[in-house]
């Protein structure tokens, strides 16, 4: 359990800054006129957030979710550095990419390493397609 918490904190530290930059960029793209119009119409802060900010940040949110899913599934560096070369106790901190590396490179089992890579690709594709479908990105007429 401690290993998972440590890896979670490392990943949070690694990805929070870049995701904040994406959201800050998305927020800067929202025209101030919309908020001014909402003020004139009597909207409170929660209504402005719900009806202006969230819908206009949808493309940013979809992008951040997509790269975060990929980044989470492709996690290797944190585990490799934390456990001095992919050797966590009882394999608790071994990630799927760490297992791919162990089988393909360390044990020279290239076929199994490639199979793990293909399975990882399929898992990431399925998760991302589901996420995109839930966000309505495949609906006709939907624009980013």
pLDDT in tens, 82-109: 888 777 778 888 888 999 999 999 899 9
86 CB neighbour count, 10 Å cutoff: 21
Q: CA 100, CA 95: separation in Å to the nearest integer?
A: 8
SS3 content of the chain, % helix, strand, coil (to 5): 75, 0, 25
pLDDT tens readout for residues 38-71: 999 999 999 999 999 999 999 999 999 989 888 8
pTM of structure? 0.78
Tell me if 38 sits within 8 A of 52, measured CB to CB.
Answer: yes
């Amino acid at each position: 359990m401690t290993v998972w918490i440590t890896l979670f904190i490392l990943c949070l530290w690694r990805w929070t800054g870049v995701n904040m930059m994406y959201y800050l960029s998305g927020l800067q793209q929202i025209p101030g006129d919309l908020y001014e119009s909402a003020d004139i119409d009597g909207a409170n802060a929660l209504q402005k957030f719900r009806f202006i900010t969230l819908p206009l940040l949808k493309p940013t949110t979809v992008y951040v979710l997509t790269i975060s899913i990929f980044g989470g599934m492709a996690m290797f560096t944190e585990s490799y550095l934390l456990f001095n070369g992919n050797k966590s106790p009882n394999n608790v901190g071994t990630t799927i990419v760490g297992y791919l590396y162990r089988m393909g490179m360390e044990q020279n089992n290239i076929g199994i390493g490639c199979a793990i890579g293909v399975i990882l690709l399929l898992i990431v594709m399925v998760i991302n397609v589901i996420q995109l479908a839930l966000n309505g990105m495949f609906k006709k007429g939907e624009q980013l």
